[in-house]
Structure formats: C-alpha cells, structure tokens
Amino acid sequence: MGKVTWKPGTFVYPLPVVMVTCGDMENSNIITVAWTGIINSDPAMVYISIRPERYSYELIKKTGEFAINLTNEKLTYATDWCGVKSGAKADKFKEMKLTKERLSVIKCPGIKESPVSIECKVKEIKKLGTHHMIISEVLAINASEEYIDEKGAFDIGKCDLIAYANGRYYSLGEQLGTFGYSVKKD
C-alpha cells in the first residue's frame, strides 16, 4: 500500500502532554500543553507553545516563570480537564483535588501528584502565529522520591507516563531498548 498526502499540519506524534503550572502559591493555575519539548542540553532549555488568548499566557508573561509537571496514567483525567476548562472560571487545583507543592527556586507551585516537576524561567517569546513559543531555561527538576530506588536511581519506567497523539492519550507500553543498544557489543 502507498501513502496518502495531506495538506500541511502538525503531525509529529507522539508528544508528551504536560500540566504547566503558573502564577504563585496563592493565585495559581494549570494549563495542559502538548506543544512542548526539549530544545537544548546545556544550558537545559525547553519550550512550551501557548495561544496568547489563554488565561495562563498572561500569568506566565507577567511572572516570567512556570513549571512543567509530567503526567501519568493516574493524572490523565485531570490532564484533559485542565485542557478544556479555563482558570479564569475554575480553580483547577481544587476541582481536580490536586495538591500545590512549593518548588525549590520559582514562586509558582508544582503539582505534588506529578512524578516530576520542572522549574522553568522564561528567556524569550517567539510569536509564531496561532501560538507563541515560550523558550525557557530549566532551573531545577523535582523528582518524586516514590520512583527513586535505594541506590538513588530514578526509575522512569515506573512513573506510568502518558503520551498524546492526534487527539488521543496513550500509555507508553513496554520498553524496547536503551540508548545505543543497536550498536552495543555483547
């Protein structure tokens, strides 16, 4: 069978789907974001792309910081909900029974129930079109002790992280290999 050709679109899937927290401990919000990723290793830099009309956009612009909270199977419902409701009308932490967690550097809270919360500082905002790409530096990573073994190693496979592809949420399934395994000598 051949391939059909479609007009241009965003089809780089799967993607992580994350819960981005913004604001401060008193006035905070959660926005679900799938247009996100790593853009540099050292300094560690990431991006989130957000439509400027989102309630969260102004909060992030004003404070210059936010946290990326990784999502897992247990958080799938809340991830979707925080992506269809606005913080202008709902307290998403309260409605989804999520716990605000003080982070190490930024004033914005993380989500305690998330396995990993990544503290970010805004460096540059690129107005691309529908979305503004918020290019940010990672200031700290907070990993849940639940997934750290007695040797201090973080077992990402135990986090039950989820992915997003073409409007659907997926669990990650089985590990298929490790970095460089294709060239590893026995």
Ligand X SMILES: Cc1cc2nc3c(=O)[nH]c(=O)nc-3n(C[C@H](O)[C@H](O)[C@H](O)COP(=O)(O)O)c2cc1C
Binding site for ligand X (CB under 6 A): 17, 29, 31-35, 49-51, 54-56, 80, 83-88, 131, 164
Residue nearer to ligand X on the CB measure, 27 or 104: 27
CB of 156 to ligand X, least distance (A): 21
CB of 2 to ligand X, least distance (A): 31
* Residue labelled with tokens 């305690």: 112
Which tokens belong to 161?
């992280």
Q: State the minimum distance, in angstroms, from the CB of residue 55 to ligand X.
A: 3
* Token pair recorded at residue 69: 């909270």
Q: Give the shortest CB-22-to-ligand X separation in angstroms.
A: 8
Backbone angles phi, psi at 25, to 5 degrees: -60, -30
Nearer of residues 43 and 167 to ligand X, judged by Cβ: 167
Locate the DSSP E strands across 82-167: 100-101, 110-111, 116-127, 132-143, 162-165
Q: Which is nearer to ligand X, 55 or 154 (CB)?
A: 55
CB of 79 to ligand X, least distance (A): 7
Task: Choose among 165, 145, 166, 147: nearest CA to 157.
Answer: 147
Residue 129 or residue 177: which is nearer to ligand X going by CB?
129
Nearest CA-CA partner of 115 in 83, 78, 142: 142
The residue number whose beta carbon is nearest to ligand X equals 83
Cα 82 to Cα 169: distance, rounded to the nearest angstrom: 14
Residue 32 vs 136, nearer CB to ligand X: 32
